[in-house]
Structure formats: C-alpha cells, structure tokens
Chains A and B, each alone.
Chain A
C-alpha cells in the first residue's frame, strides 16, 4: 500500500490485563472492537476468544478486516442465544477447553438479560455473576478482556464499576478516537488529514494492515515467515 510517501502513525489503545469496557458510538458498530481483537492477535502468541450475545458475530466483517484469512483460525467464536447460554459460555472461558488466549472479548454482555423470559431480579444477579466471571477470566489468563454493552444505563452500572478501564470510541472529523474518562487515554487511531475520504471498512483495513506490519505479523500478499500465523 504505497498511497502515501510518509509512514503513517497508526495507533490503537494499549490494553492492560483485566476488564476494559468499550462504549462504541452506534454508527461505528462492532468494527472497532473487532479491530482491537485482531490487533491483540498480531501482538501476542495466543488466540482470541469471542463470546457474542449481541448478534454481532457475523464473520463477513471480520473476514474483510483481517489482513490475512488465516487469522480467522485464531479467533474462536461462540454465540449465546439465550441469557443462560451466555452465562455458561462466560464460565467456560476459564475451563479446560480455553488455553492461553491473548485476548477475550464479550460483546453485548447485558443484552440477553433484558429479555422478558428472565425475571428482573434474577437478571441483575446473572449480570453481576457474568461480570465476575469475566473478571476471573482476566485474572486466570492474565489477558485483556474487552466488554461491550447494548445500553448504558442503571442496569449496566455494575459493569462500569468493575471495569479497570472504560474507553469510548467515537467518530470524529479526523477519524475514530478512543478516549477514557480519566484522560489517561486519548488515541486518535489514524489522522485522516485532508482529502482522505474513505469508507469505514477501507479505513480500518488500512489501520490493521499497518498494525500487523508493526508487529511483524503476516499480511496477505506478503511472504509469511512461516505457514502458521
């Protein structure tokens, strides 16, 4: 990709081990979270585990974003379709079938608990239990755990309390920007500069290609250092 002579500065927030809540502006969808997930794979040896309760685990976008199709073998997905399935899945993340991940992602953690087939008091208990299960995942595997929620309200306040980091990802006129409430994080992913008009997809593809190169991780069309990425 030689569209620009200068080496662009492409940044994504550094994630610490433990819970990171990411609130994404609705127009950006799940793409920023998928980008953080892929970025963690570039940097680490382990695989990514993704528990989706938001109905967002469609692979089309992930396939489009991944700089190499082989990364899709390193992302392990399981979808919760009921509040109870999701509860099981979050427990399973510390089970024997999940070994040495480099990142864990849980999207839409609150969504299924809002269904009317779950009694309200029970729903709050289950949500708190799920947050605790995710915190445990961070401790047991010593990895970043990225969490998103379907709505920011009283119901999901326990998540805000439990998260070590609370990021917001918003679209600005210069491109997507990650910030946190304390001001410790302020990452403009990639300065678009003037005259750059791109689709969201093309933008993130470019971001991820740069990030993969930064970590010496394979990018399609390049000679991979080995057959395994």
Chain B
C-alpha cells in the first residue's frame, strides 16, 4: 500500500509507504509502463463496425502492425515490444495486439503520437495511453493505491496565502495551519522549513500550487540553507498551466507540482477535498484505486473513469485512447423520442396546501443497476428484444460491467447512511459524512457522464436509455398515485409532489410508495410533508425555472431570525445560489418567513420596503453585500464586460490573478460606471455601495417569492411606490 509514488527521469520509480514513525522508501528500478496498438479504426468501428464489431480474423500481428513494430524497435522511448492478446472492446474477443513497453512514463504519449503519424491516418488504434502516472503504476504493478491507515493516521500541514496576493511579497501573508508564518519572506520560509522538519507531514495542503516554486525561490534568494518541502530534495512540475478548447468550451487547468515522498493537495484545484475533506478523499482512494494526490485534483469524471478502467481490466478490456466508437444509426423518429430530455411534469404553478414529497432513491444509478445498462449491453446486437421504453433498444441478457461499478457504491452509501444514524461519536459521524459526500458525487454524475463524448467507455445510447427508463418510471408512479386518490402536483426527475385529490379517499402514501417500489425495483421514499409548497412560474427566457420552488415542512418550527434551517425547503431560488450576496439572501429569507406567516404579498413587500430603506440609508455592512462568483475563464477570455470581469481585472490591477474554478468576490459600487471602478474587492474596505444595483437584486429575490401568487415586478414596484408615498405622507402630517 502506498502513500505516493515518485517518478525519476531515468525511469526509476520510488514508492513511499507509512510506518509507525515515518515512511519507508522503496526503489523500483527499470519500471516500463505499457501501451498497446491494435487494428485500424475502420475494422472495429467503421465499415465492419456496428453493434458487434467483426474485425478480420488473424493469428499473429497484422502486416501493418508488424511494420509499426519494426519502426519502433530500437527507438530510445521504447524499451521493448511484443505481441499479446487483449480485448479492444467489451464486444470483441481477445486479439493479438502490439505490446509496447515504454522507457519511462513520459515516453508513453510520445510513442502514441508517433504511432498516430506513422502510416495512413486512422490506421491504428492505441490503448492504455492517457492514464495518470501514479494510477498507471498501481494498476500495472498490482499495488494498492491507498496508504495503510491502520499503521498510523496521515499527518497534514496546511500552507496558505490570501487569494489576492501573489509574488514574493505574498509570503509575508503566509499562514501555517492558520498561524502567521513571519513578517518577512525570509522569516516565512524559515518558519515553513522548521514546521516541515518538525511535523514531517504526509500531505501538504497548499492554497495555491504556485506556493511551491515561490517558497523554493525565496529560500534561494534569502539563502535559507537546506530548505526542503519534500522528503527528498526539490520539487517537480507535473503540468504547466494551460488553456484549451474542446467542443467549443474554453477550459483552463492550473499548473501542478509534486514533492518527493509527500502528497500535494492544491486547494485552488481540487473538487473532492473541498466536497468531502481528507477522510472522504481517502475513502474514495480506496474505492476508486486512484492514488490520493491524483484524486486531489481529479474531476468526478476522472474518478468514475478510474473505477471503470479497473472493471474493464477485470474483463481483459483495454482503455481506448481516442473516442473512435460512434453511436449507431437510428431513425430520426427514435432520436426525436430520445431527445425529449429530462422528466418533468408541467407543475401546477402557485401555492398548494398539504403537500407530500416522495423521492426515488438514487434513481439514475439504480436504473443502471436494475436495468443492466452498460455501454456493451444497450443495442447489443445479439439480443433482438424491445427493452427500453419508447426507444425500442434491446438490452443484453449478459451482465453489463457498469452495474458492477455502481452497485457497490450504491450499497456502500446506504450502509454509511445507516451508520450515520446509529453512531454517537461525533468524529466518526464526520468521517462517515465525508465518505458519503464523496460517493454521492460519483452517483449523481454517473448519468451525465455517460453522455459525455470523450468519456472512456461512455455511450450516448446509455444516456438515452437511462432517460427513457426514468421518464417511464416517473409516469408509472404518477399513474399509480392518481389511481388511489392522490393528485400529482409536480414531478422532476426523481421527485414527486402530491396532495389528496378532492372528494376522494386516499390509500396511505407509505402503502402506495411500497407498491411502486416493488413494481419498479427502485425504492420510492417518503421525503417530507409540507404545510404548503409554492411552485414558481417560468421566468422569461429561463427554461430551467420548473425546478424553482419552496415550501414549509410540517412539524418543524420556523426560526424567527437567522437562517431558515430545515423548516423551509427551497430549490433554485436566490438564497440557494452561492453567488447571492448575504444581504439579498437575508431579504429573501425574511420574505419567506413572512410569506409563511401571512401568505400575503403585501406583507412580503413591507419586509422588502424595510430592507430597502436601510439600504438607502447606507445601513447595510459592505461585508453583507459581497458577490461571490466562480470564475469560468481568464479575464481576457471574457467577451462581455460583466461585473465579474471588472472584478477580475481589478484583482489583476492589484497584482494578483484568479484562475478559472476559483471564486472572485466583490462589492458593486457603481454598476453603470466604467472598467474596474464598477466594483471594489473585499480587502479594499470600501464604505460605499451601489444602492440601485442591490435594490434591483433584492426586488428580484422577492419577486421569486410573490410570483407564485401572481405578482410580478410591476406589482412590486407599484406597491413600493404607494408605500413610499404613504410613508412620506404620514411623515409630512406629523407635527
């Protein structure tokens, strides 16, 4: 079991494992990673392609593969070549392929590119090319990817600088585990050096990976002798900062660094560490077999892919490099049915009393599992059955591999949920909740990922089939509920809201839910009873508005101040959105509270009026007006001059920059102004703000609430104008 794996340019690999008091270091000399090259794309996917590819029979390597072998033999990047049989797809038998052992991990891609340029285009298909290095090593050598925590728990050290600081001076703001490191760059570097020596951490969490070269450079400048962050000298840059375009989207990935013998987690470039903390990450390392450092920066898709690759390997299937496998031809009529999109009933817009919500548990993963949906089972070509509702696709009788990947995750998550219920130990509960959060993300993303074009083993037909089953299941549930006296108010993907149908007797919901669960094979769970639920109407030009709603849970008492807690459930409205300024959230939550108490749009607008008066008076603290937006691209890549762009430019103006994926925070001071003067950054301690802009935001947040009783912006404006007049009038008549 390993903590981390280092790769030396000479080809040697160093493995680090935990011991009671530190780590052991094992050198693996002459590790040669392996890739494979197989038949021409046309033989698998082109002319001979179809549900089950029929490449021509052969015993050894084809002439063209032999030619390639001769070309590669003797090249520096190549350690060895040979012929070995593997399966190129889930639907083909093992075939003799060209095996290439690369001289080092860096040589793998180089070789693949040479193969791509050799001979005619599309002459070869390459396998096991783009695996991350630590993952590849564990996979190829059978090394378990997780550190052995039964030896001792991991030691971590956290180094952080504020997001708006960069360059050597930023080090004067450096904190070590939250404590200031030193007032000069030299003092900070010395303090880091001491902390690293004393603590000997296994994991170093940095607020930005740029800290690593910054610290080494400063140590150099200030002659801090013997400065090290790793367990051996130096550091390695694994990837440069890069911007790329893929299918019309501009993406950005920050530079990545690693330290010998330690795991680096970059807080500005991690999904799972943010969502699930270190315990959740470690739990997932175990399940996915993706080593901790790589899991740190991995997307959900990458983790899911790692699991799929392991499952494929169990079946002797290699990992395709490029996505050659296309969808099968289908009648436009079928595509038309498949394209109907997600399952949403048109909701009964407005406020409804006495509402119950029922949810299908992990609907999409359970559909995959119970309906045997997998890239090699949908439209399999060997079974002529009509299995997918509305589309007529067959699903193979043979067990698909995707259910075997997701099944254990579904079970693990429900087991963890049970344990959370049972445990009385707070630390244990935290650990369990972290683990649950990490798994949840994999489960909620597995459906979308099936439709992602570059997904290894992804297939659009799986995506369509899952959607078709989901639609069918929700419609069946609706029919079953209506048959026993319930009126269905709304349904979205996996949730259904019902209320007793007037003048009818109802079968108890628990009973109906159990019947539906038995019929569909997927548990329909009782989520909550609501005193009332309001479904918001569509906003102009906003097609996603069918998912905006809020409701008051029965039993729970609404807290009189502060956050609403569990008493009122909200989805899709401003207070749920991360970028909403705290003050706007407060206005909306106060509005919800008053709406719950009075159900009166007038009373809600009175709340708004009170808040706006305070805003106009300048009584709102600027901290409560901070807008936090996730950066989606570099400042110069934006084409529109939005406030976020102004804030990004202002950040640059202060000598710092934010990478896509990070969050920019700002206060709007003059929305109609020009350039970087439209906003201030939080650390600039601005006293003023743009009251018009925040007023507009508050009115929109209140409009979300009162829209469910038919009020729109005009009604709110009119009410506010009348109120202001009344207030002024009463003021003037005062003696």
Q: Nearest Cβ distance between residue B467 and chain A, in whole angstroms?
A: 15
Among A13-21, A84-92, A167-175, A209-217, the stretch that binds chain B is A84-92
Does A9 lie at the interface of the complex (its beta carbon under 8 Å from any beta carbon of B)? no
B34-78 CB mask vs A (1 if < 8 Å, else 0) is: 000000011001111110000000000000000000000000000
B296-333 CB mask vs A (1 if < 8 Å, else 0) is: 00000000000000000000000000111111111111
* Given A82-B454, A115-B245, A129:B327 Cβ within 8 A: no
Give the contacts of B676-701 with A (CB-CB under 8 A).
Answer: none
Does B504 lie at the interface of the complex (its beta carbon under 8 Å from any beta carbon of A)? no
Determine the chain B residues whose CB is within 8 A of the CB of A73 once the complex forms. Answer: 331-333
Picked from B244, B323, B335, the residue with its CB within 8 Å of the CB of A82 is B323
Determine the chain A residues whose CB is within 8 A of the CB of B453 once the complex forms. Answer: 81-82, 85
* Given A82-B323, A95-B48, A87:B41 Cβ within 8 A: yes
Number of A-B contacts (CB under 8 A): 127
Determine the chain A residues whose CB is within 8 A of the CB of B247 once the complex forms. Answer: 81, 112, 115
B333-367 CB mask vs A (1 if < 8 Å, else 0) is: 10110010000000000000000000000000000
Q: Nearest Cβ distance between residue B124 and chain A, in whole angstroms?
A: 12
Give the contacts of A109-129 with B (CB-CB under 8 A).
Answer: 112, 115-117, 119, 121-122, 125-126, 129
Picked from B326, B332, B460, the residue with its CB within 8 Å of the CB of A88 is B326
Q: Nearest Cβ distance between residue B253 and chain A, in whole angstroms?
A: 13
B335 touches A85 (CB 8 A): no
Determine the chain B residues whose CB is within 8 A of the CB of A49 once the complex forms. Answer: 329
Determine the chain B residues whose CB is within 8 A of the CB of A121 once the complex forms. Answer: 117
Determine the chain B residues whose CB is within 8 A of the CB of A79 once the complex forms. Answer: 326-327, 460
Does B398 lie at the interface of the complex (its beta carbon under 8 Å from any beta carbon of A)? no
Does B246 lie at the interface of the complex (its beta carbon under 8 Å from any beta carbon of A)? yes
Give the contacts of B113-148 with A (CB-CB under 8 A).
Answer: 113, 116-117, 120-122
Does A77 lie at the interface of the complex (its beta carbon under 8 Å from any beta carbon of B)? yes
B460 touches A92 (CB 8 A): no
Does A151 lie at the interface of the complex (its beta carbon under 8 Å from any beta carbon of B)? no
Q: Nearest Cβ distance between residue A27 and chain B, in whole angstroms?
A: 20
Determine the chain A residues whose CB is within 8 A of the CB of B327 once the complex forms. Answer: 78-79, 85
B121 touches A95 (CB 8 A): no
A59 touches B245 (CB 8 A): no
B330 touches A77 (CB 8 A): yes
A125 to B113, CA, bound (A): 14
Query: Which has the most chain A C-beta neighbours within 10 Å: B42, B121, B322, B326?
Result: B326
Determine the chain B residues whose CB is within 8 A of the CB of A122 once the complex forms. Answer: 116-117, 121
A97 touches B329 (CB 8 A): yes
A98 to B329, CA, bound (A): 9
Q: Nearest Cβ distance between residue B338 and chain A, in whole angstroms?
A: 9
A122 to B166, CA, bound (A): 40
* Given A121-B117, A125-B121, A129-B122, A95:B328 Cβ within 8 A: no
Q: Nearest Cβ distance between residue B195 and chain A, in whole angstroms?
A: 41
B interface residue count range (under 10 / 10 to 19 / 20 to 34 / 35 or more): 35 or more
A84 to B124, CA, bound (A): 12
B460-480 CB mask vs A (1 if < 8 Å, else 0) is: 100000000000000000000
Give the contacts of B488-522 with A (CB-CB under 8 A).
Answer: none
A75 touches B121 (CB 8 A): no
Determine the chain A residues whose CB is within 8 A of the CB of B460 once the complex forms. Answer: 79, 81
B330 touches A85 (CB 8 A): no
Does A94 lie at the interface of the complex (its beta carbon under 8 Å from any beta carbon of B)? yes
B429-454 CB mask vs A (1 if < 8 Å, else 0) is: 00000000000000000000000011
A86 touches B326 (CB 8 A): yes
* Given A63-B336, A81-B460, A116:B246 Cβ within 8 A: yes
Does A157 lie at the interface of the complex (its beta carbon under 8 Å from any beta carbon of B)? no
Does A36 lie at the interface of the complex (its beta carbon under 8 Å from any beta carbon of B)? no
B322 touches A84 (CB 8 A): yes
A interface residue count range (under 10 / 10 to 19 / 20 to 34 / 35 or more): 35 or more
A92 touches B46 (CB 8 A): yes
B47 touches A91 (CB 8 A): yes
A75 to B453, CA, bound (A): 23
* Given A57-B335, A59-B336, A82:B329 Cβ within 8 A: no
Determine the chain A residues whose CB is within 8 A of the CB of B324 once the complex forms. Answer: 84-85, 87-88
Give the contacts of A36-73 with B (CB-CB under 8 A).
Answer: 49-50, 57-60, 62-63, 69, 72-73
A146 to B529, CA, bound (A): 58
A59 touches B332 (CB 8 A): yes
A86 to B122, CA, bound (A): 12
A97 touches B339 (CB 8 A): no
A129-140 CB mask vs B (1 if < 8 Å, else 0) is: 100000000000
Determine the chain B residues whose CB is within 8 A of the CB of A58 once the complex forms. Answer: 339
Determine the chain A residues whose CB is within 8 A of the CB of B42 once the complex forms. Answer: 88, 91
Q: Nearest Cβ distance between residue B419 and chain A, in whole angstroms?
A: 41
Q: Nearest Cβ distance between residue B285 and chain A, in whole angstroms?
A: 28
Determine the chain A residues whose CB is within 8 A of the CB of B328 once the complex forms. Answer: 78
A88 touches B45 (CB 8 A): yes
B47 touches A92 (CB 8 A): yes
Q: Nearest Cβ distance between residue B578 and chain A, in whole angstroms?
A: 30
* Given A72-B332, A119-B113, A78:B326 Cβ within 8 A: yes
Determine the chain B residues whose CB is within 8 A of the CB of A87 once the complex forms. Answer: 41, 46, 122, 324
Q: Nearest Cβ distance between residue A76 and chain B, in whole angstroms?
A: 4
A87 to B335, CA, bound (A): 21
A119 to B322, CA, bound (A): 13
Determine the chain B residues whose CB is within 8 A of the CB of A95 once the complex forms. Answer: 46-50
Determine the chain B residues whose CB is within 8 A of the CB of A62 once the complex forms. Answer: 332, 336
Q: Nearest Cβ distance between residue B542 and chain A, in whole angstroms?
A: 19
Picked from B121, B246, B331, B336, the residue with its CB within 8 Å of the CB of A126 is B121
A87 to B45, CA, bound (A): 9
A84 touches B41 (CB 8 A): yes
B323 touches A92 (CB 8 A): no
A88 to B50, CA, bound (A): 10
Query: Which has the most chain A C-beta neighbours within 10 Å: B45, B46, B327, B329?
Result: B329
A75 to B244, CA, bound (A): 35
Could you write out 13 A-B pairs with CB less than 8 Å apart? A60-B339, A75-B332, A80-B326, A85-B453, A88-B41, A88-B46, A91-B47, A92-B45, A95-B47, A95-B48, A116-B246, A119-B113, A129-B122
Which residues of A does B touch, CB under 8 Å?
49-50, 57-60, 62-63, 69, 72-82, 84-89, 91-92, 94-98, 112, 115-117, 119, 121-122, 125-126, 129
> With contacts A95-B46, A119-B113 known, what are 10 further pairs, Cβ within 8 A?
A59-B339, A63-B336, A69-B333, A76-B330, A82-B323, A82-B453, A92-B329, A96-B48, A98-B329, A129-B120
For the complex of A and B, 9 pairs with smallest distance between CB atoms: A91-B46, A81-B453, A72-B333, A88-B45, A59-B336, A85-B326, A95-B47, A125-B121, A75-B332
